[in-house]
């Protein structure tokens, strides 16, 4: 009897575990199917009827679903925002912090700063603000070269009941350094380093900033200051120093740093090896690139996709495409998943050598193993436009839409410019309207080119319509 009970209990526990696994799998599948349905509606519906169309899907939103859709429509800020607003009104649903952060980043990307700050205020009222919220805004402002606004965001944190700490301080310095405003970052660091005691991450941020300037002597000063303050370099610091030296054309000195790391019991990472391989490739030192790759494997460091990409780039640089293809095959045999960057390196090399037929062949091979990114689509569409093969460019565009990929501003612009070059004003106008509908502000050059053609053809009504559409996009204020 006891054995029977135990046996039944075991079966029950197994059944319960299976039920949970099935339920979790079904939830993932449901979210995926729902995401596809919503994406299809958003890609095909006009803004005015979007809410109604979304209502008619009958889909119950969840945190995972909303976050997934917002991520997919990251390049179409206003379209994503309209979905965000719709989702926020659904029963038994409340936006997660991650959803707010994704939406804030998406709005900032298209410079809809007023709506962005409105969301920050909503988060404050709900007690959802944190350090990362302001770090995202600082990064986006810095990327747009709005340095004063990035600093303002840091200074205003206290008013939003989120006192700035070292993480926020590092976030501001990182935002400024990555946007090539390292001098401003250094100025802020010098004034506030007594208030926010710097750590190795702080110094690494400044070190990387001066490396990108590029200003090797200043980078060396930061490295010395770090050591003098008793803050020992870590593996990240060493990696940045190797990267700086390589970018300064001092790859042999970078190798000395790697040897110094070994002496200090720091094992070089795959990132460091990828930097060395990439630099050797740039300098046409293909033998050194290959030897470094082999040395990495000998030292027991597993090659990742970044190192393989660097090696492929090195072979492409010296026009050894067959070797690049062999590396590609080796990645497959070793189970290293290729990414869009892997193929973009090859595509860029082929297009640069005007081997466009081969480039298209590689593109077709690519779409069977990984998803293209915005750079891939832009490259391919531009290539066909420059070859006066507009039909092929439009086929790539159609495939992109079929994959529910939201084009970036540059992708839109490349095709609109190609259509204008062929005098296809009607299609160019439709595409520009679609671009605006997705909340993407067209570059002045692109709109100016289409504008001239519309004036030339006497289509003032279309020009007026498009201009009014652009004017409807929210204008950006300096601050909240």
Under the banding of pLDDT at 50, 70 and 90, the label for residue 225 is very high
Q: Per-residue pLDDT averaged across 423-439, rounded?
A: 91
Residue where a domain terminates, one of 181, 196, 211: 196
Are both 54 and 122 inside the same structural domain?
Answer: yes
Condensed to tens digits (0 to 9), the pLDDT of residues 227-243 reads 888 888 888 999 999 99
Q: Which long-range contacts (CB under 8 A, 24 or more apart) does 41-50 make?
A: 42/69, 42/73, 42/79, 42/83, 43/401, 43/404, 43/406, 46/437, 47/79, 47/82, 47/437, 50/79, 50/82, 50/83, 50/86
Q: How far apart are CA 318 and CA 321, in angstroms?
A: 8
**Nearest residue to 351 via CA among 342, 339, 340, 363:** 363
Are both 113 and 172 inside the same structural domain?
Answer: no
Q: What percent of the chain has pLDDT over 90?
A: 68
Are the CB atoms for 337 and 309 separated by under 8 Å? no
pLDDT for res 58: 84
Condensed to tens digits (0 to 9), the pLDDT of residues 89-127 reads 999 999 999 999 999 999 998 889 999 999 999 999 999
Residue 108 falls inside a structural domain: yes
Are both 35 and 120 inside the same structural domain?
Answer: yes
Residue 240 falls inside a structural domain: yes
Q: Per-residue pLDDT averaged across 409-425, rounded?
A: 94
Residue 297 falls inside a structural domain: no
Q: Per-residue pLDDT averaged across 291-298, rounded?
A: 93
**Domains in the chain: how many in total?**
4
pLDDT for res 213: 87
Are both 238 and 188 inside the same structural domain?
Answer: no
pTM of the model: 0.72
Are both 42 and 115 inside the same structural domain?
Answer: yes
Q: Per-residue pLDDT averaged across 309-321, rounded?
A: 95
Q: How far apart are CA 181 and CA 233, in angstroms?
A: 23
Residue where a domain terminates, one of 110, 129, 148: 129
Condensed to tens digits (0 to 9), the pLDDT of residues 4-27 reads 343 444 444 443 443 443 333 333
- Cα distances from 70 to residues 39, 95, 123, in angstroms, run 10, 11, 17
Helix axes 340-352, 374-386, angle to 10 degrees: 20
Are both 119 and 41 inside the same structural domain?
Answer: yes
Q: Per-residue pLDDT averaged across 134-140, rounded?
A: 97
pLDDT for res 8: 47
Are the CB atoms for 59 and 38 separated by under 8 Å? yes
Residue where a domain terminates, one of 129, 151, 185: 129
71-80, 122-131, 170-179, 312-321 — which is least confidently predicted? 71-80
Residue 462 falls inside a structural domain: yes
Segments forming the whole domain that contains residue 111: 29-129
- Helix, strand, coil percent content, the chain, rounded in steps of 5: 75, 0, 25
Are both 71 and 34 inside the same structural domain?
Answer: yes
Residue 154 falls inside a structural domain: yes
pLDDT for res 378: 96
What the block records as the tokens of 218 is: 């200043």
Condensed to tens digits (0 to 9), the pLDDT of residues 31-65 reads 477 888 888 777 776 666 788 888 888 888 899 99
pLDDT for res 25: 35
Task: Classify burial at 7, counting beta carbons within 10 Å of its beta carbon; exposed 0-12, middle 13-18, buried 19 or more.
Answer: exposed
Are both 190 and 204 inside the same structural domain?
Answer: no
Are the CB atoms for 370 and 338 separated by under 8 Å? yes
Are both 170 and 86 inside the same structural domain?
Answer: no
pLDDT for res 437: 84
Residue 184 falls inside a structural domain: yes
The 10 Å Cβ neighbour count of residue 469 is 15
Are both 446 and 460 inside the same structural domain?
Answer: yes
Q: What percent of the chain has pLDDT over 70?
A: 91
Task: Classify burial at 328, counting beta carbons within 10 Å of its beta carbon; exposed 0-12, middle 13-18, buried 19 or more.
Answer: buried
Task: Classify burial at 343, counting beta carbons within 10 Å of its beta carbon; exposed 0-12, middle 13-18, buried 19 or more.
Answer: buried
Residue 75 falls inside a structural domain: yes
Q: Is 27 helix (H, G, I), strand (E, B) or coil?
A: helix
Residue 10 falls inside a structural domain: no
pLDDT for res 22: 36
Are both 175 and 205 inside the same structural domain?
Answer: no
Are both 414 and 452 inside the same structural domain?
Answer: yes
Condensed to tens digits (0 to 9), the pLDDT of residues 193-207 reads 999 999 999 999 999
């Amino acid at each position: 009897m006891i054995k029977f009970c135990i046996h039944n209990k075991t079966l029950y526990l197994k059944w319960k575990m299976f039920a949970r696994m099935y339920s979790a799998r079904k939830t993932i599948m449901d979210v995926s199917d729902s995401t596809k349905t919503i994406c299809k509606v958003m890609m095909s519906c006009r803004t005015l009827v979007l809410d109604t169309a979304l209502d008619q899907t009958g889909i119950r939103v969840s945190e995972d679903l909303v976050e997934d859709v917002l991520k997919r429509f990251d390049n179409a800020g206003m379209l994503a925002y309209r979905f965000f607003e719709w989702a926020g009104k659904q029963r038994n649903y409340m936006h997660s912090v991650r959803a707010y952060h994704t939406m804030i980043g998406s709005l900032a990307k298209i410079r809809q700063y007023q709506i962005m700050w409105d969301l920050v205020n909503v988060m404050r009222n709900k007690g959802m603000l944190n350090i990362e919220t302001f770090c995202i805004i600082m990064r986006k402002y810095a990327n747009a070269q709005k340095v004063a606004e990035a600093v303002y965001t840091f200074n205003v944190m206290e008013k939003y009941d989120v006192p700035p700490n070292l993480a926020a301080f590092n976030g501001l310095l990182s935002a400024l350094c990555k946007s090539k405003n390292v001098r401003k970052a250094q100025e802020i660091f010098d004034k506030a380093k007594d208030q926010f005691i710097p750590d190795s991450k702080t110094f690494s941020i400044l070190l990387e900033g001066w490396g990108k300037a590029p200003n090797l002597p200043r980078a060396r000063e930061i490295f010395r200051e770090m050591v003098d303050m008793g803050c020992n370099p870590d593996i990240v610091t060493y990696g940045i120093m190797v990267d700086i030296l390589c970018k300064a054309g001092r790859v042999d000195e970078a190798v000395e740093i790697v040897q110094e790391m070994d002496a200090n019991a720091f094992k070089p990472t795959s990132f460091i090896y990828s930097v060395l391989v990439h630099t050797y490739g740039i300098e046409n030192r293909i033998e050194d690139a290959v030897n470094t790759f082999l040395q990495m494997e000998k030292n027991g460091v597993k090659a990742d996709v970044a190192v393989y990409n660097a090696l492929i780039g090195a072979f492409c640089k010296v026009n050894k495409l067959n070797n690049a293809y062999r590396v590609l095959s080796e990645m497959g045999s070793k189970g290293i998943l290729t990414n869009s960057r892997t193929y973009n390196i090859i595509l860029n090399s082929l297009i640069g050598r005007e081997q466009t037929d081969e480039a298209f062949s590689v593109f077709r091979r690519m779409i069977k193993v990984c998803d293209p990114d915005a750079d891939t689509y832009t490259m391919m569409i531009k290539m066909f436009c420059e070859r006066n093969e507009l039909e092929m460019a439009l086929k790539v565009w159609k495939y992109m839409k079929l994959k529910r990929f939201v084009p970036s501003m540059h992708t839109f612009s490349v095709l609109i410019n190609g259509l204008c070059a062929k005098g296809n004003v009607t299609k160019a106008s439709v595409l520009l309207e679609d671009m605006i509908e997705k909340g993407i502000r067209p570059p002045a050059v692109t709109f100016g080119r289409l504008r001239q053609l519309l004036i030339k053809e006497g289509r003032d009504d279309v020009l007026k319509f498009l201009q009014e559409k652009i004017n409807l996009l929210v204008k950006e204020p300096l601050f909240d």
